[in-house]
């Protein structure tokens, strides 16, 4: 089934289809289910970009698990990082002695997840891992890699399936690259 969206006119090409994403997220859920069997992991969703990935990943975990949410801000409304990570919402759950998996949409410079893992690491979790849907290793500025990665992507600015440009495009069911004219007047 091909879904049509008005905002699809802004997409230059599709990098990852809905089907590719769903297949991979199912595999990731199955892997996490096996590796965390009996551990009741706490999956931490990094708002807002991780929401679609988080919801699909959790539904593919077939053992006991719990959910919690954090919000950080690491990007301006545009496309480049200002290098600062600001916490806007902390967890509601204590993670002491818990097996924690941070779930993020994309690892780019790595600054956001570097900061988050350091902070959560001080709270004495039993273990702390990172699941990212996308990884852009060519952009890395910190020594960090995701423990679970959906797809390695090239150095392109992507939108959809949670990823936004200036708050928009998160609701696309696939991941694509914007037409240059959509943002060329901003940068």
Q: How far apart are CA 176 and CA 161, in angstroms?
A: 9
Of 10, 105, 108, 135, the active-site residue reads 108
77 an active-site residue? no
**């998996």: which residue's tokens?**
101
Q: What are phi and psi of 186, to 5 degrees?
A: -90, -40
Count the residues of the shown chain that bind Mg ion, applying the rule CB under 5 A: 1
Q: Does 162 sit near Mg ion (CB under 5 A)?
A: no
67 has which bridge partners? 43
* Stated length of the chain: 187
From the list ligand IMP, Mg ion, none, partner contacted by residue 110 (C-beta under 5 to 8 A by kind) = ligand IMP
Q: In this complex, which beta carbon is closest to ligand IMP, that of residue 35 or of residue 166?
A: 166
Q: How far apart are CA 159 and CA 173, in angstroms?
A: 10
* Contact (Cβ atoms closer than 8 angstroms) between residue 32 and residue 57: yes
DSSP state, residue 115? H
**Using only C-alpha atoms, what is the Rg of the chain?**
16
From the list ligand IMP, Mg ion, none, partner contacted by residue 112 (C-beta under 5 to 8 A by kind) = ligand IMP
Which residue stretch of 31-39, 95-103, 110-118, 179-187 sits at the interface with ligand IMP (rule: CB under 6 A)?
A: 110-118
Q: Does 117 sit near ligand IMP (CB under 6 A)?
A: no
Q: Does 104 sit near ligand IMP (CB under 6 A)?
A: yes
Q: What is the contact mask toward Mg ion in residues 33 to 52, using x (rule: CB under 5 A)?
A: ----------------x---
Report residue 15 as tokens: 């990098």
Which residues would be at the binding site for ligand IMP (CB under 6 A)? Answer: 49, 74-75, 81, 104-112, 157-159, 163
Q: Catalytic residue positions? A: 108
């Amino acid at each position: 089934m091909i879904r049509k969206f008005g905002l699809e006119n802004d997409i230059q090409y599709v990098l990852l289809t809905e089907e590719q994403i769903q297949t991979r997220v199912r595999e990731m859920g199955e892997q996490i289910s096996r590796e965390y069997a009996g551990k009741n992991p706490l999956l931490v969703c990094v708002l807002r970009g991780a929401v679609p990935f988080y919801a699909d990943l959790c539904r593919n975990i077939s053992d006991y698990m719990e959910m919690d949410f954090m919000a950080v801000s690491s990007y301006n409304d545009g496309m480049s990082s200002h290098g600062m990570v600001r916490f806007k919402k902390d967890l509601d759950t204590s993670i002491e002695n818990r097996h924690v998996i941070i779930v993020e949409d994309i690892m780019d410079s790595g600054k956001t997840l570097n900061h988050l893992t350091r902070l959560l690491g001080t709270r004495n979790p039993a273990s702390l891992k990172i699941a990212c849907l996308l990884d852009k290793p060519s952009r890395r500025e910190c020594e960090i890699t995701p423990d679970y990665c959906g797809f390695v992507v090239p150095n392109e600015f992507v939108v959809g399936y949670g990823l936004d440009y200036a708050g928009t495009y998160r609701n696309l069911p696939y991941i694509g690259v914007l037409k240059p004219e959509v943002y060329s007047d901003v940068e």
